[in-house]
Every structure is written in C-alpha cells, then in structure tokens.
C-alpha cells in the first residue's frame, strides 16, 4: 500500500495531499501524549483526597449540575482531540436540557465527563469543573472527585440511558436480576425482597403491561422498545436527581420513539428530576427540551430556551440545521444544505470553526474565535454577526492558540 | 450518463461546490493503517522479543554460513580430524631379543575424528562424525527455515483457493471441500508422516536428496486444512457485508469478487496463522529429522543433531557432551517461540477491537 | 396461494412492475412438512414505478422494506411473484444473464462504512464494474471516472485514496458514484441517509435530486424518515409487517392518510417547533413477529379502530381514490 501510493497520488495531482502523518510527526505526538497522560494520571490516582478539595459552591442553587468551562481532551495517536473545549451550561432542577449536535461535536463526551466515564488514560478532563449538587445541598466538583466517591453518585443520583439498550444490558442475566443488583448495590438497607418490590414498581411505572414476565426474561427476549423501557426503569430505581439520556430513541422506530418520549416526560414529572437529553434530532429536542444547547466541534455555539432556539435562532449553524431539515418545504425547492464536512476536533485553528461552511462568513471570522454574545438572560450565541465589540488582538491570541 | 467528451484533458473542477477545501477539513492527518499495525505491534514487549529472536535465527542461519565459510573455510559436511598426543597409550608388553620384557610406549600423534570438545577452532566442538557443530547448526537452521517457509506458502496458497471457493460458493462445493478438510484434519499427523517418510526411505529409486521435497509436500498436505478453515470462516462472515452485496449489484464476476474483495480482507488472519504455523512446521521437520526420516544424514538438521543424544544409542553423549545437542535444542526453542510471539503480536496488532 | 393472471404488458411508462411479490425465509432447512414455518418478510406486495419518478417506501424496522429492495434486485431469491423490469421478468432471468443486466439497476446502501470494500482505492471502487461491463472505451475510462466523481461532488485527488480516509458523507458520495457510473436506469436507495449527520443528509438529498434531474433516474427510496420521503418522492408506499398498507400519490397520502397505521406514523414524526403540539396517535405495543403474524389484518393488534372483522379477514388492497390505495376494513364496509 504505502510507498507506491504516494507516487501515484503525486502523479494525478502534482501535489502532496497525503492524509497520513509522517513518521516524525507521529513520534512527536506519541512522546507528548505519554508525558501529558502521565501527569494527569498521577493526579487522578492520588489516594486519600480530602473532602474539602472537591467541595465547592453552586453558582445558582436551583441547578442540579453546572458545567463550567469544561475541557475534555483525548490524547490520541493522531493528535489531541479537543472533544469538549470550554463548555459551560447549567441543568436546572426539574428541567430538561437538550444537547444537540452532529457526530463528533462532543455532546456525548460532555455527559461522560459528568459521569467520570471518559476513557482514561487517553481521555482526560484537562480544565474546568462540573459542579453537582446532591439532595442535602452539598455541592461537589465531579472533575476532582476520587473515583470511589463517584461510585456512590453514579447510577444512583445520576443515571444514564444509552442509545442501544441491548449493549447496555448484560445478556446472560435476567432483567429482574440486573435491576435488583442496582438497588442492592446502592441502597444499604435493602433486602432481596425489597429490591424485587422496587424493581417491579419501576417496571410498572414505565408502562410495561406484563411486569412479571418482563422481570423474568432475558434482554434478548424483549423488543427494542421494551428494552429501552427496562433501561429507563433501571435508571429510575434509585430516585435519580438527573437522568442523562444519550440518544435514547435513535435506534427506535418512530412509533416506538413517540412512546418513549412520552414516557420520559411522564417519568420526569413523577420523580421531579432533571434530564440531560442528548440527540442529533432537532424534532425530538423541540418536543422534549426546556433549554437547548447547540454544540459544534467541541464548543457551544448557541444556547437558550427551546423557544428562543427554534423561533429566533441566531447562529448560522443553528439556522442552517433548521433549514436543512426537509418537511414543510415548497414543492420543487432545493433543500438548503450546509456545505462541507463535519469537522473532527483535532488541531482546531484559532478562528470560528464554522467559518468554512458558513454563508455569512466575514473577514473577522477567519481571524478570531467569536465570544459568546448575550441576547437575554438565557439566549447566547458565539458569532461575530451579533458582536459589536471589536476584540483586542492579544486577548484572543492567548485562547486556544495552539493550532498545530 | 453522457460519456466525457474532453478526453484526456484534466477535468475542470473549479466550479465544484465543495472544492473550497479549507484548513478545517484538512486540519489533521491520520495514521495509515499499515503504520497503525506497526505501532500496535511494537507496543507489546513480547513481540519485540519475538522479532529479535527471529532476526537472530535468520542471521545465524543465512549469514552465518557465509561468514564461517570465509573466515575458517568450514563446510557443512567437512570432517575435521583433531590431533591428539597419544604418548602413554599402550601398556602392551613384548619380549626383546635379549629375553627381557619391555613395555611398549607409543609416542606418535594420532588423529581423532570425533567428539572434540569446544575449542578455539571449533567453538562448539565436533560431533561423532567429526563435523563442526557450529557450522552444522547454521546449515541446519537454513534448511529448517527454507522448508518451513516453502511449506507455509504452499499451504496458504492451497488453503486460500479451496477455502475461498468453499466459502463463496457454499452449497455442495462447500460440502465437498469441507468434508475433505475434515478427513485431512482427523488424520493423526505425526504417525502418517512417519509412515510416509519411512516408505519413501525404503523406495530406492528416490534419491536421498529428493526426500526433502516429498517431506515438504506431505507437510503441506497436512497443513492446508487449517488455512482453508480460516479463509472459509472469514469469507462466510465477509460475504454478508454490504460491500459484497454492492459487488453483486454491480455485476462483478464471482472470481473477481472472491479474489479482489474477499481474500484481501482475510489477509490479516492469514498472516497471523502463517506466522504461527511457521513454528509448527519447524517442529514437525525437527521431529522427522530426529527420527532420521527427514533431512537425510550428511545434510545437517537440528532434529538429527539432537538425535545424537538419543539414549537408545547410549547415555554417553547425553551425559557428557551437552555441546552436541543443547545448542540445537535451544535454537529450535528460540525459533518456535519467536514465531509464536510474533504471531501473537500481529494478531493483537491487526485486531481492530484493540483500537484505542 | 395462486397468482392471479396479471397481464404482463406494461406501458412504456412503467420501469418497474412488482406483482404479488413474496419472500419467505424458511426457519429450518430440513423439514418434512409441506408448509414449513417461515418468516414472511415480504408478503404479497404489488406496485409500479413510473420512469423518472421516485417511489418512497416507508415503514418501521422489520417491516420488510429492505427485503423488498433486495428481492427486486435478486440479491435474495424471489419466493413467488413477478418483478418486471423494463418488460423482463427479473425473477425468471437466469443468473448469468442477470449479471449482464446488473448495470441497469443499482443500489445505494445504508451503511457507508460497510458498503465500500476497505482494501480498494476509491477510483477502483467506482470503476471496477465500469471496466467489467465495458461501459466506456478503455481510452476514456479514466476521464469518465473522474467526471462521475466530480458529478457526485468528489475531488479528483480522492481517486487513489482508500475509504477509511473519508467521512460518512463522502463515503456515501462514493457509494452513489459507484452506482451512477454504471449508467443505470433504476436505483434503489436503501436508507442512504440514516447513518449520516443532519447537515450532510441535505447535501446527499440534493445530490440525488440533481442526478435524477440530469439523467432521469428512477428511484425506489426506502427510508424510515417520513420527512425525507415526503420531500423526495412522487409516490409513497407504507409497509407494515411485510404487507403494503397504503400506497398512492405522495400529496394524497400525506394530506389524507387513510390507513390508521399511516395516520399514527405521520403523527409520530417529531416537529421542529416547540409550539406545535401534534395531535399524536400513540400506538400501543410493539410490532408483532413476522413468523406468526396476526390473523386477518396484520395491524389489528395495535390499531385503535380494530373491529371484529379485522381478525377474520385480511382487508383487500383497493383503490379508494385515484392513485390512492388502502388495505383497511374501515373503508370497505359500505
């Protein structure tokens, strides 16, 4: 493959446009990664972290979770992937926050960071904090929390629902056993009987008709929609304060999706919890969310209440996404489309990431990354179209300047 | 679609909507798949050790003979007579003409042709026939490696063709080929090889030098079934991939489909199995040579060198001359282990599930 | 079930006529029973597609829409029925001849990752069959491939690259280029968008529309995404559990869905407007297994309007309005 191809390529175009790294670059990246990862792992693996270190104060006590300037990087073989690059948003108590974006925009990594489930050692939270407030009003910084402490929160206070329920259920155990186990693990005063009772109660809650049968069946015996219901029931077992739903309906059919969405809304009311709803489907977001966060290439480009985002989208990317959805189109009209490809957040340049795909790109867009412009208390967008201030050169250069 | 009229001209693509290739789309480069495999391979210490072992064995067997030939002029079947002073040998008495009895002392030097201990001239000594052991180890390694490579190449070739046909066509073709595979696979390899080798040895019309080719043919026949199974299994899996369905809809010939789309995708598995197989063939060959059914005598082979220590020929060599058989045994271990380590390393390197 | 005598004469307008197509997968190969248990993936489906138009086929997973596409192309053997493509019954064409006919009908696959051979460069993927079928003379081969690539929005320097170097959207373009390069008349698009990002989906839709305009392709567009189907198709068929429930002119079906299933399906699509609250019909339960489908009307187990007759008799697929057929007892009573 290797050598011969390089000649061939040059022949056809006369330019070197190899998409492959040279050996030297590869070595350099490897070396740097080893060094950085070692440093982060050392901090992560410390023993006996005192509680003061990760106790903090919430910015607004009405929030369950606050993401504050979160940076999650992956130190991969091809370079540093800035999967989450300075993300700040809040999840208020009892609300649904929708996170939208295309593949590789960092929406899933954001939620995994909150769960401390980022694939170490390549993935590391390098900067920022995630504040979580528990029932007693105690506030923790998840990024600094030791892993054993996190175990108590994960799955109990914060539960997660995944896209493909089949892979998140263990195929060799019965559904009921798996549910009981969660309770027995998290609730100290629970017995086998009480756990069973609770599991069945939850299965009832998610609208499963034949509860006994489902309780005693293996995951593969259930249909996709049923499995997702079981997953939701499982997430509800320990009265979570926050449910992270990562594309929970993407693998389901429309009619089943409608069922599950309705169920999630019901459930939220019943347990008075919050939901962080991650999806790429704008329709689902419009239906579910109270607040919307639009992500692109690891950054938030626009956020606001659902009405603001859908009725007065500001960022050209948000506008483009809305317009490129077919439906409600005039006959024979060409569909609006955003040109170009979805970027992979490696070696991002020091300018607006959407510049090359944007219809309204200006000169300044190629020189700086736009700051967030505040439209009202909730609605913000990162675009130069709305920022009237001219940013001083030196301030920008410092931020995010290491475009390799 | 209209056929392009501007033949040979460089196509004009400036009007292409997507042509505005920007730094954002080309902002990073990936590692080529080949390099990725290399990288993962070298991540494992064991595979590096294996590689070092195999490189050593190769240098020893292929470069070694030249060096030893040029520096000392030693050859594979050269007999070395070692000088030895035998000045206190005989105690035979004989009567002199004077009627007295004399003792006989032989002060001459004799030339002993075997079992010289390690010395400066012969680092590992010489064996029972007076051959230099080091030299023979080199030649023995060469023959072992050549045999194993040829056998593996042949059996992979055979396996690809038969396994490919079985996997792709299925139905009766598959049935026939796989039953043949089953039959071969249930034959006990070693006994059959012993019988066949012994038979060939007894056929006088076959010259001793040619025995080695028959040996290779037998080893191939015994080994191809494994490859065929791997290829068939892989192809059954790959056949369900959408690109095979795409190949079907575009109406590509079956043979092209097998050998352009399917077989190249089984290559990783084949390389792994071939590497692991190399060690096996070396073992087989050594076993046969040990039983003097493999490489015929004047030629060197690791197996036959170990056979010198065979207890049935007396305990003497086993007990007092480790220099004759330990090095050969060590080399076999190094070669077999080395190929195993490399094979394992390659398997992990090719396996996409290891991807990080 | 005996096939009714249908007249084979098709007007030149219809490029594809599917008559009573059936595809059963036997559950066990070795059975003595005469009527072995089988999965009825496609159960008696008929439709026609006019030249140069797009037919959308919608339905949920497991409804057999993908199997319909693959059976039409004989990627799976037809159990029963006719597939008349350009006047020839494909179900009866011998394999060898079929291969020669392949370029006329192409397919674009769902998964852009597994539908491209990983060890062939892009130029080869697109051009392999062009060479095999001698679509263009050898001297023009290279420029032809480059032209096809350009038409599909691929840059010429991609010619020697390998699929793994591309993103999903570009891979789908390659897949389209491969189909288009053979100069087909008819292309089956099997969920070509479902693996792509939202912003890329619209690019691909536009590309497909443009190609259709330029070359007059006929599409069979299989998808579960109703909004896409509404946008791209001229006629639309709604499938459920291997059977066609409703079929007709796109506008008629979308404006006036007659079958309860179509109604539910249409109302289930989320709308990108937080203030529009759909009057949603949420269907109860799951799709039954196609091994043992409900008697009578297959939809009756989930149908909000189910009547006693639905369990007894399968409804007839009948035209109730011009270019609008439905299989439902609600309309056949009077």
Task: Please write the tens of the pLDDT for every residue from B108-127.
Answer: 666 666 777 777 777 787 87
Question: Hey, are the CB atoms on C271 and A287 less than 8 Å from each other?
Answer: yes
**Nearest-CA distance from C195 to chain B in Å?**
14
CA closest to C145 among chain B residues: B4
**Stretches in chain A below the pLDDT threshold 50:** 1-7, 9-16, 393-404
CB C297 within 8 Å of CB C303: yes
Q: What is residue B288's predicted lDDT score, i.e. its pLDDT?
A: 84
| Nearest one of B41, B112, B28 to B271, comparing CA atoms | B41
| CB within 8 Å: B30 and A347 | no
Q: What digits encode the pLDDT tens for the residues A69-110?
A: 999 988 888 888 888 988 999 999 889 999 998 888 888 899
Percent of chain B with pLDDT over 70: 84
User: pLDDT category, C56, cuts 50, 70, 90?
Assistant: very high
Query: Where does the pLDDT of residue B51 fall: very low under 50, low under 70, confident under 90, or very high at 90 and above?
Result: very high
The region of weakest confidence among A345-354, B323-332, C69-78 is A345-354
**Which residue of chain B is at minimal alpha-carbon distance from C182?**
B250
Structure confidence at residue B191 (pLDDT):
85
Chain A contact present for C137, CB below 8 A: no
Looking at residue C279, its pLDDT comes to 75
Q: Mapping DSSP to helix (H, G, I), strand (E, B) and coil, where does residue A121 land?
A: coil
Lowest-confidence segment of A87-101, B208-222, B335-349 by average pLDDT = B208-222
Q: Which residue has the higher pLDDT, C11 or C123?
A: C123
What pLDDT is attached to residue B338?
94
**Quick check: B23 pLDDT over 50?**
no
CB atoms B35 and A23 under 8 Å:
yes
Q: What is the mean pLDDT of residues C241-268?
A: 89
Q: Are A225 and C286 in contact, with CB atoms under 8 Å apart? A: yes
Contacts of the segment B317-321: beta carbons below 8 A, 24+ positions apart: B317/B128, B321/B115, B321/B125
Q: Flag whether pLDDT at B284 surpasses 80.
A: yes
Contact C197 A12 (CB under 8 A): no
Q: What is the mean pLDDT of chain C?
A: 84
SS3 per-residue string spanning chain C: CCCCCCCCCCCCCEEEEEEEEEEEEECCCCCCCCCCCEEEEEEEEEEEEECCCEEEEECCCCCCHHHHHHHHCCCCCCCEEEEEECCEEHHHCCHHHHHHHHHHEEEECCCCCCCCCCCCCHHHHHHHHHHHCCCCCHHHHHHHHHHHHHHCCCCHHHHHCCHHHCCHHHHHHHHHHHHHCCCCCEEEEECCCCCCCHHHHHHHHHHHHHHHHHHCCEEEEEECCHHHHHHHCCEEEEEECCEEEEEEEHHHHHHCCCCHHHHHHHHHCCCCCCCCCCCCCCCCCCCCCCCCCCCCCCCCCCCCCCCHHHHHCCCCEEEEECCEEEECHHHHCC
Contact C177, C113 (CB under 8 A): no
Inspect the interface and report whether the beta carbons of A339 and B23 lie closer than 8 Å.
no
How far is residue B26 from each of residues A340, B22, B34, C161, C276, measured CA to CA in Å?
11, 6, 21, 14, 41
A18 to chain C: closest CA residue: C161
Do the Cβ atoms of A17 and B18 come within 8 Å?
Answer: no
* A1 contacts B35? CB cut-off 8 A: no
B1 vs C151: CB contact, 8 Å cut-off? yes
Pairwise CB contact (< 8 Å): B261 & C117: yes
Whole-angstrom distance, CA of residue C74 vs CA of residue C107: 12
Reduce the DSSP state of residue A81 to 3 states and report it: strand
User: Rounded distance, CA B251 to CA B263, Å?
Assistant: 18
Chain B residues close to A26, C-beta within 8 Å: 31, 35, 39
Residues 57-86 of C with CB under 8 A from B: 70, 73, 75
Q: Among partner residues A20, A23, A349, which is closest to B24 by beta-carbon distance?
A: A349
Average pLDDT of the residues in B191-202: 82
CB contact under 8 A, C161 and A19: yes
Please indicate whether, in this complex, the C-beta atoms of C132 and B256 are within 8 angstroms of each other: yes
Collect all residues of chain C within an 8 Å Cβ-Cβ radius of residue A321: 198-199
Contacts of A164 (CB under 8 A, 6+ apart): A251
Q: Is C283 at the interface with chain A, CB within 8 A?
A: yes
Sign of the Cα pseudo-torsion (C274, C280, C286, C290, in order) = negative
What would the two tokens of residue B9 be?
């001209």
Token duo for residue A172: 């060799």
Write the residue in C160, C205, C272 that is nearest to A283 by C-beta.
Answer: C272
Contacts of B197 (CB under 8 A, 6+ apart): B211, B214, B215, B218, B288, B291, B293, B294
Q: Which residues, in sequence order, are CB contacts of A85 under 8 Å at separation 6+?
A: A71, A106, A297, A298, A299, A345, A348, A400
The token pair at C181 is 């390069």
Which of C72, C66, C92 shows the shortest CA–CA distance to C186?
C72
Find chains touching chain B: ≥3 CB pairs under 8 Å: A, C
A16 in contact with chain C, both atoms CB, cutoff 8 A: no
Any chain A CB within 8 A of the CB of C117?
no
Residues 344-403 of A with CB under 8 A from C: 344, 357
Helices (H) and strands (E) in chain A, counts: 15, 12
Do the Cβ atoms of B323 and B117 come closer than 8 Å? yes
- Inter-chain residue contact A286 with C273, CB threshold 8 Å: yes
> If pLDDT is split at 50, 70 and 90, which confidence band does B85 have?
low
Asked if C207 has any chain A CB less than 8 Å from its own CB, the reply is no
Domain range annotation of chain B: 58-65+127-350
Name, in order, each residue with C-beta under 8 angstroms of A244's C-beta and a sequence gap of 6 or more: A111, A114, A115, A158, A159, A160, A161, A275, A276, A278
Tokens in use for C163? 């699929």
Tell me the pLDDT band of C31, cut-offs 50, 70 and 90: low
Residue C75 has pLDDT above 90, yes or no: no
pLDDT score, position B7: 37
Question: C114 vs B242: CB contact, 8 Å cut-off?
Answer: yes
B159 vs B209, higher pLDDT: B159
Cβ <8 Å between A226 and C286: yes
Find the residue in B nearest to C71 (Cα): B249
User: Are the beta carbons of C282 and A336 separated by less than 8 Å?
Assistant: no
**Residue A79, CA distances (Å) to A29, A33, A69, A83, B343 in order:** 6, 8, 22, 12, 29
Count of Cβ atoms closer than 10 Å to residue A5 Cβ: 16
B30 and A349: CB-CB below 8 Å? no
Which residues from B are below 8 Å from C when comparing CB atoms? 1, 3-4, 6-9, 11, 13, 16-19, 21, 30, 33, 241-243, 245-253, 256, 260-261, 264-265
User: How close B112 gets to chain A, by Cα (Å)?
Assistant: 58
**Average pLDDT estimate for C7-11:** 49
Question: Residue B14 corresponds to which tokens in the numbers above?
Answer: 């400036």
**B203-214: pLDDT as tens digits:** 877 777 777 788
The pLDDT of residue B26:
54
Taking the model in full, what pTM does it have? 0.81
Residue with tokens 């059976």: C71
Tell me the chain B residues in contact with residue C204 when contact means C-beta distances shorter than 8 Å: none
Q: Is the pLDDT of residue B104 over 60?
A: yes
Picking from C73, C119, C181, the nearest residue to B265 by CB comes out as C119
Q: Note the pLDDT of residue A12.
A: 45
For residue C301, what pLDDT is reported?
Answer: 87
Judge: B3–C181 Cβ closer than 8 Å, yes or no: no
Find, in chain B, the residue whose alpha carbon is nearest to that of C213. Answer: B1
Q: What is the mean pLDDT of residues C79-86?
A: 87
CA distance A304 to chain B (A): 27
Other CB atoms within 10 A of residue C103 CB = 21
Nearest CB to B27; choose among A18, A26, A346: A346
Is pLDDT at B55 greater than 90 in this prediction? yes
Q: Is the pLDDT of residue C21 over 80?
A: yes
pLDDT of residue B20: 40
User: 3.90.226.10, 1.10.3720.10, 3.60.21.70, 2.60.420.10: which CATH number matches B58-65+127-350?
Assistant: 1.10.3720.10
Chains with 3 or more CB pairs under 8 A to chain A: B, C
Contacts of C102 (CB under 8 A, 6+ apart): B248, B249, B250, B251, C129, C133, C182
**Which chain B residues have any C-beta within 8 angstroms of a chain A C-beta?**
17-18, 20, 22-36, 39, 356
Structure tokens at C307: 């009547």
Query: Nearest chain C Cα to B246, which residue?
Result: C115
User: Which residues from A are below 8 Å from B32, CB to CB?
Assistant: 1-2, 20-21
pLDDT average, residue stretch C123-143: 88
- Chain C contact set for B260 (CB, 8 A): 117, 120, 128
- For the segment A146-203, what is each residue's pLDDT rounded down to a tens digit? 888 888 888 888 888 888 777 788 888 888 888 888 888 888 788 888 888 888 888 8
Residues in chain A with CB shorter than 8 Å from the CB of C269 are 254, 283, 327
CB-based contact C78:C21 (threshold 8 Å): yes
Largest CA distance in chain B: 125
The conformation of residue A401, written as its DSSP 8-state character, comes to -
Kindly determine whether residue A325 and residue C202, on different chains, have CB atoms separated by under 8 Å: yes
The helix (run of H) or strand (run of E) holding residue B242 is: helix B242-249
* Number of helices and strands in chain B (H, E): 13, 4
B262, B168 Cβ separation under 8 angstroms: yes
**Residue closest to A340 by CA, chosen among C153, C212, C148, C211:** C153
pLDDT at B81 over 60: yes
Q: Does the pLDDT of residue B17 top 50, yes or no? A: no
- Residues of chain A in contact with residue B22, where contact means CB-CB under 8 angstroms, are 340, 355-356
pLDDT tier, C236 (very low <50, low <70, confident <90, very high otherwise): very high
Subunit contact C215:B6, Cβ cutoff 8 A? no
Q: Do A280 and C226 touch (CB under 8 A)?
A: no
């Amino acid at each position: 493959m290797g050598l011969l191809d390089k000649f061939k390529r040059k022949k056809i175009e006369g330019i070197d446009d190899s998409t492959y790294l040279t050996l030297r670059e590869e070595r350099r990246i490897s070396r740097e990664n080893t060094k950085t990862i070692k440093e982060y792992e050392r901090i992560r693996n410390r023993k006996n972290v005192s509680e003061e270190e990760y106790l903090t104060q919430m910015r607004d006590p009405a929030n369950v979770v606050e993401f504050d300037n979160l940076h999650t990087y992956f130190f991969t073989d091809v370079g540093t992937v800035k999967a989450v690059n300075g993300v700040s948003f809040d999840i208020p108590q009892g609300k649904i926050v929708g996170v939208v974006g295309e593949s590789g925009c960092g929406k899933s990594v954001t939620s995994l960071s909150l769960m401390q489930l980022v694939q170490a050692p390549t993935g590391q939270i390098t900067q920022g904090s995630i504040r979580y407030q528990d029932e007693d009003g105690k506030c923790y910084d998840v990024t600094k929390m030791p892993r054993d402490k996190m175990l108590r929160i994960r799955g109990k206070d914060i539960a997660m629902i995944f896209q493909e329920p089949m892979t998140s259920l263990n195929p060799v155990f019965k559904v009921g056993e798996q549910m009981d186990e969660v309770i027995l693990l998290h609730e100290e005063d629970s017995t086998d009987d009480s756990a069973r009772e609770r599991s069945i109660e939850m299965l009832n809650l998610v609208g499963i008709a034949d509860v006994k049968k489902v309780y005693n069946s293996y995951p593969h015996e259930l249909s996709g929609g049923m499995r997702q219901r079981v997953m939701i029931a499982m997430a509800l077992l320990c009265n979570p304060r926050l449910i992270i739903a990562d594309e929970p309906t993407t693998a389901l059919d429309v009619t089943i999706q409608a069922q599950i969405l309705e169920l999630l809304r019901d459930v939220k009311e019943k347990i008075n919890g919050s939901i962080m709803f991650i999806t790429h489907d704008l329709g689902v977001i419009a239906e579910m969310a109270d607040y919307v966060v639009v992500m692109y290439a690891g950054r938030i480009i626009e956020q606001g209440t659902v009405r603001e985002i859908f009725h007065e989208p500001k960022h050209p990317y948000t506008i483009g996404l809305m317009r490129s959805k077919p439906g409600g189109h005039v006959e024979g009209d060409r569909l609006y489309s955003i040109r170009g490809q979805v970027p992979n957040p490696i070696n991002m340049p020091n300018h607006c990431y959407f510049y090359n795909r944007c219809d309204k790109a200006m000169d300044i867009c190629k020189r700086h990354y736009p700051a967030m412009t505040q439209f009202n208390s909730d609605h913000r967008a990162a675009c130069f179209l709305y920022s009237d201030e001219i940013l001083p050169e030196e301030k920008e250069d410092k931020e995010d300047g290491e475009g390799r | 679609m209209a056929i392009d009229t501007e033949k040979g001209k460089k196509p004009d693509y400036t009007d292409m909507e997507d042509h505005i290739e920007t730094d954002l789309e080309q902002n990073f480069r990936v590692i080529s798949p080949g390099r990725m495999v290399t990288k993962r391979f070298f991540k494992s210490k064991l595979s590096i050790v294996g590689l070092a072992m195999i490189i050593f064995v190769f240098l020893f067997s292929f470069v070694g003979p030249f060096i030893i030939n040029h520096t000392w002029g030693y050859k594979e079947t050269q007999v070395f007579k070692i000088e030895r002073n035998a000045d206190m040998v005989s105690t035979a008495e004989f009567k002199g003409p004077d009627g007295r009895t004399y003792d006989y002392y032989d002060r001459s030097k004799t030339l002993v042709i075997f079992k010289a201990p390690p010395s400066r001239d012969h680092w590992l000594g010489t064996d029972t026939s007076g051959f230099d052991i080091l030299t023979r180890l080199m030649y023995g390694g060469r023959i072992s490696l050549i045999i194993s490579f040829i056998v593996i190449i042949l059996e992979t070739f055979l396996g690809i063709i038969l396994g490919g046909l079985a996997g792709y066509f299925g139905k009766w073709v598959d049935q026939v080929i796989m039953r043949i595979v089953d039959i071969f696979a249930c034959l006990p390899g070693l006994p059959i090889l012993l019988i066949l080798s012994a038979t060939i040895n007894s056929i006088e019309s076959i010259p001793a030098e040619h025995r080695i080719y028959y040996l290779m043919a037998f080893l191939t026949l015994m080994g191809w079934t494994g490859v065929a199974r791997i290829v068939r299994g892989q192809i059954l899996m790959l056949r369900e991939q959408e690109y095979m369905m795409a190949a079907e809809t575009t109406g590509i010939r079956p043979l092209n489909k097998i050998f352009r789309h399917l077989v190249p995708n089984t290559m990783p598995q084949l390389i792994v199995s071939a590497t692991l197989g190399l060690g096996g063939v070396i073992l087989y060959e050594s076993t046969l040579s040990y039983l003097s059914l493999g490489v015929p005598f004047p030629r060197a082979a690791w197996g036959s060198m170990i056979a010198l220590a065979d207890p049935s020929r007396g305990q003497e060599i086993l007990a007092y001359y480790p220099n004759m058989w330990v090095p050969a045994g060590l080399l076999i271990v190094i070669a077999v282990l080395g190929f195993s380590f490399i094979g394992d390393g390659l398997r992990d390197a090719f396996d996409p599930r290891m991807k990080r | 079930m005996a096939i009714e005598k249908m007249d084979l004469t098709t007007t030149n307008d219809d490029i594809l006529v599917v008559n009573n197509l059936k595809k059963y997968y036997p559950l066990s190969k070795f059975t003595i029973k005469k009527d072995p248990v089988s999965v009825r993936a496609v159960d008696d489906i008929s439709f026609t597609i006019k030249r140069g138009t797009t037919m959308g086929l919608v339905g949920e997973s497991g409804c057999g829409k993908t199997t319909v596409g693959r059976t039409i192309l004989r990627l799976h053997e037809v159990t029963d029925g006719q597939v008349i493509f350009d006047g020839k019954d494909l179900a009866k064409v011998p394999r060898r001849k079929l291969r020669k006919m392949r370029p006329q009908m192409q397919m674009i696959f769902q998964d852009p990752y597994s539908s491209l051979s990983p060890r062939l460069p892009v130029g080869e993927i697109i051009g392999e069959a062009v060479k095999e079928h001698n679509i263009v003379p050898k001297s023009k081969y290279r420029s032809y491939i480059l032209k096809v690539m350009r038409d599909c929005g691929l840059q010429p320097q991609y010619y020697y690259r390998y699929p793994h170097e591309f993103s999903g959207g570009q891979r789908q373009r390659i897949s389209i280029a491969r189909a288009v390069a053979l100069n087909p008349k008819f292309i089956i698009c099997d969920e070509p968008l479902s693996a792509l990002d939202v912003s890329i989906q619209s690019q691909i839709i536009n590309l497909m529309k443009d190609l259709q305009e330029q070359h007059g392709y006929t599409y069979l567009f299989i998808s579960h995404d109703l909004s896409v189907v509404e946008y791209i198709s001229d006629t639309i068929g709604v499938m459920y559990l291997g059977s066609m429930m409703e079929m007709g002119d796109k506008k008629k079906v979308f404006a006036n869905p007659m079958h309860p299933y179509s109604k539910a399906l249409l109302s289930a699509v989320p709308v990108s407007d937080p203030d529009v609250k759909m009057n949603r019909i949420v269907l109860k339960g799951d799709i039954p297994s196609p091994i043992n489908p409900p008697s009578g009307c297959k939809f009756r187990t989930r149908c909000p309007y189910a009547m006693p007759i639905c369990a007894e008799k399968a409804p007839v697929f009948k035209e109730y309005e011009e270019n609008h057929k439905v299989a439902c007892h609600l309309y056949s009573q009077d």
